[in-house]
């Protein structure tokens, strides 16, 4: 395909993209982009809570120069987001970025991104995930995916009849990966070298799909940034959420079919109420998450990994050092960041799983005794929500494939002043090369040179992992060895990269290895 020919024939019809300039920052080449490409039919009417169906085939060249609609979602005042595109039902879209010289047959590495947002918000068109920098400087094909969120993607209605499917948000991602397998070669990518990567809820989908037989062969590597890997629940918990949703809508279980006809505004309003109430009533728990449905998922992903039953693909997995600080800053109840919330969480665990030999709150607290009271609560929240699930996953998955564990510690002067430091999601502009974008305030108090150097190292390692399944850094940087016992290597990403050994020994000893389904 010549550079000036931006029309690509997909399995559903031709699409025309655009040549876009490099993003702000250090030099990067021009990039081609195709935006808003359909991979699924609009999930409306009978399809609202069903697995995605293929889109209708088209013959005229479809314009792919603007982002498509994003999944309908409520607005959360404490989590303001610019979604980058209007909301709409026809949201099963994806975006492709490729180097300007990419041609069919080039077989470049492919990186498929899943956005975060607590399973209830976010989109592939957020400015943070502009693929120009990663594609242009890394010589890779980048794909960002919309999937259904909130009640539309992660409420389980399947117990109410055959009209509903389970885990439809996961099924959206599987459909998008199927589209990549069938079409990415036409954009210059290699369908055999697809790396699935995501952050927060997006990383949760990544780690969940590692446990799904249906995902086998759809990706050859995975990167999970701050995955809530244990936030996968059983049908009992899922049914409580579904019942609460119906009750607030004034519907009996026998009337669940009416959900397909209700105005979207009513569903969003009620789902927001359920989302807000669940972590208040049950600290540490989310309302809308993947579930063990006996179809896509037979068991909890961490438990399957510990049994050596996850998909044997290389994995990068890690967290940020101060994850919970973001939730304190936003005054969000999503994480148990106060002593009372942590106590409530432990009480709930004991009541719900009386036969499970769990460490007590006091035993856990002893691992954090060197910290002040508020810092102790934040550290416990960070570890219960993100760090320990990632460590448990690494311990298990290392039995079937190479695992590379990291911890992101770097913080700019502004983030240090705000006392959030390396909080949840602060690594994102480093991965994407979007530092200093118009709505990114992290460099307001300086630190640009050091931050750009961190970003270059992270992107180099991520791209090299996608290219050859090994996260090598730039020349002269330390070798990042796979996570293996007893060394348990961990890359510490800070002003300088260092490799440490068994940095999680204290908390691993405190938390144990049995709490794989406690959240």
**Which residue numbers are catalytic?**
200, 323, 424
* pLDDT band at residue 98 under the 50/70/90 scheme: very high
374 in any annotated domain: yes
Please tell me the distance from the alpha carbon of residue 508 to that of residue 313, in angstroms, as a whole number. 24
Average pLDDT value for the chain:
93
DSSP state of 429: H
H or E element, residue 486: none
Burial of 373 (C-beta count, 10 Å sphere; 0-12/13-18/19+): exposed
Neighbours of 456 (CB within 10 A): 17
Burial of 30 (0-12, 13-18, 19+ CB in 10 A): middle
Percent of the chain residues topping a pLDDT of 90? 83
Give residue 3's pLDDT band: very low, low, confident or very high (50, 70, 90). very low
- pLDDT score for 432: 97
The per-residue pLDDT for 25 is 46
Provide the terminal-to-terminal Cα distance of the chain, rounded to the nearest Å: 49
Q: What is the bridge-based pairing of β-strands 221-225 and 315-320?
A: parallel
User: CB-based contacts of 79: which residues, under 8 Å, 6+ apart?
Assistant: 117, 118, 121, 330, 332
Given pLDDT bands bounded at 50, 70 and 90, which one contains residue 30? confident
Alpha carbon 19 to its chain centroid, in Å, reads 28
Cα–Cα dist 32/18, whole Å: 6
pLDDT at site 27:
47
357 in any annotated domain: yes
Please check the confidence at residue 515 and state whether its pLDDT lies above 70.
no
Tokens of 184: 């990415």
Helices (H), 353-387: 361-366, 373-382
Q: Which pLDDT does position 176 carry in this prediction?
A: 99
Tens of pLDDT, residues 359-376: 776 777 788 888 887 788
For residue 225, is it within any domain? Answer: yes
The per-residue pLDDT for 516 is 45
Total residue count of the chain as it appears in this document = 519
> Is pLDDT of 411 > 70?
yes
Bigger pLDDT: 272 or 347? 272
CATH number of the domain that 293 lies in? Answer: 3.40.50.1820
Backbone angles phi, psi at 98, to 5 degrees: -140, 150
Q: Classify residue 196: in a domain, yes or no.
A: yes
pLDDT for position 162: 82
Q: Above 90 in pLDDT, residue 201?
A: yes
Residue 2, domain member (yes or no) = no
Residue 62 CB coordination number (10 Å): 17
Backbone dihedral angles phi then psi of residue 384, each to the nearest 5 degrees: -70, -30
SS3 annotation, 206-228: HHHHCCCHHHCCCCCEEEEECCC
What is the band of 437 on the pLDDT scale with cuts at 50, 70, 90? confident
Q: Residue 436's CB: how many other CB atoms inside 10 A?
A: 18
Residue 365 lies in a domain: yes
Total-model pTM: 0.96
Domain assignment of residue 292, given as a range: 7-18+30-162+170-511
204 vs 519, more confident: 204
Coil, strand or helix at 322 = coil
- Judge whether 518 lies within some domain: no
Instruction: Please give the DSSP secondary-structure letter assigned to residue 8.
Output: E
Total number of domains constituting the chain? 1
Closest by CA to 96, choosing from 146, 45, 42, is 146
Q: Are 457 and 466 in contact (CB under 8 A)?
A: no
Q: Compute the chain's Rg from CA coordinates.
A: 22
517 part of a folded domain: no
């Amino acid at each position: 395909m010549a550079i000036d020919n931006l029309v690509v024939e997909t399995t559903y019809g031709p699409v025309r993209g655009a040549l876009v300039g490099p993003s702000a920052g250090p030099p990067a080449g021009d990039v081609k982009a195709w935006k808003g490409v359909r991979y699924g039919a609009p999930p409306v009417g009978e399809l609202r809570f069903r697995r995605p169906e293929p889109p209708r085939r088209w013959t005229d060249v479809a314009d792919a120069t603007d982002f498509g609609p994003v999944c309908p979602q409520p607005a959360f005042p404490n989590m303001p987001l610019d979604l980058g595109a209007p909301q709409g039902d026809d949201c099963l879209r994806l975006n492709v970025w490729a180097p300007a010289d990419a041609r069919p047959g080039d077989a470049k590495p492919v990186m498929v991104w899943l956005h975060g947002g607590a399973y209830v918000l976010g989109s592939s068109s957020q400015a943070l995930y502009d693929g120009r920098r990663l594609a242009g400087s890394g010589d890779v094909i980048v794909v960002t995916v919309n999937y259904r969120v909130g009640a539309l993607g992660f409420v389980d209605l399947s117990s109410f009849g055959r009209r509903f499917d389970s885990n439809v948000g996961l099924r959206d991602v599987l459909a998008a990966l199927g589209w990549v397998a069938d079409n990415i070669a036409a954009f210059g990518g290699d369908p055999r070298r697809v790396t699935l990567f995501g952050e927060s809820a997006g990383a949760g989908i990544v780690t969940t799909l590692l446990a799904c037989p249906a995902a086998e062969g759809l990706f050859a590597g995975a990167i999970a940034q701050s995955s809530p890997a244990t936030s996968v629940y059983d049908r009992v918990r899922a049914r409580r959420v579904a019942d609460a949703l119906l009750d607030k809508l004034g519907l009996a279980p026998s009337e669940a079919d009416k959900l397909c006809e209700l105005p979207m505004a009513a569903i969003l309003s009620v789902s927001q109420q359920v989302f807000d109430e669940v972590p208040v009533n049950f600290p540490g728990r989310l309302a809308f998450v993947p579930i063990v449905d006996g179809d896509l998922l037979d068991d909890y992903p961490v438990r399957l990994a510990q049994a050596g039953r996850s998909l044997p693909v290389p994995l990068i997995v890690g967290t940020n050092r101060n994850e919970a600080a973001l939730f304190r800053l936003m005054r969000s109840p999503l994480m148990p960041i106060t002593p009372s919330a942590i106590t409530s969480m432990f009480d709930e665990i004991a009541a719900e799983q009386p036969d499970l030999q769990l460490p007590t709150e006091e035993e856990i607290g002893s691992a954090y005794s060197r910290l002040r009271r508020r810092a102790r609560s934040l550290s416990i929240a960070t570890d219960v929500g993100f760090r320990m699930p990632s460590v448990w996953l690494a311990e298990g998955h290392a039995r079937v494939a190479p695992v590379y564990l990291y911890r992101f510690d770097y913080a700019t002067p502004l983030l240090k002043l705000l006392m959030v430091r390396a909080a949840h999601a602060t690594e994102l502009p480093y991965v994407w090369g979007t530092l200093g974008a118009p709505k990114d305030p992290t460099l307001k108090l300086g630190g640009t040179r050091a931050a750009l150097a961190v970003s270059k190292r992270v992107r180099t390692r991520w791209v090299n992992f996608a290219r050859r399944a090994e996260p090598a850094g730039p020349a002269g940087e330390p070798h990042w060895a796979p996570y293996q016992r007893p060394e348990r290597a961990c890359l510490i990403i800070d002003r300088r990269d260092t490799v440490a050994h068994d940095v999680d020994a204290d908390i691993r000893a405190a938390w144990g290895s049995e709490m794989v389904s406690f959240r």
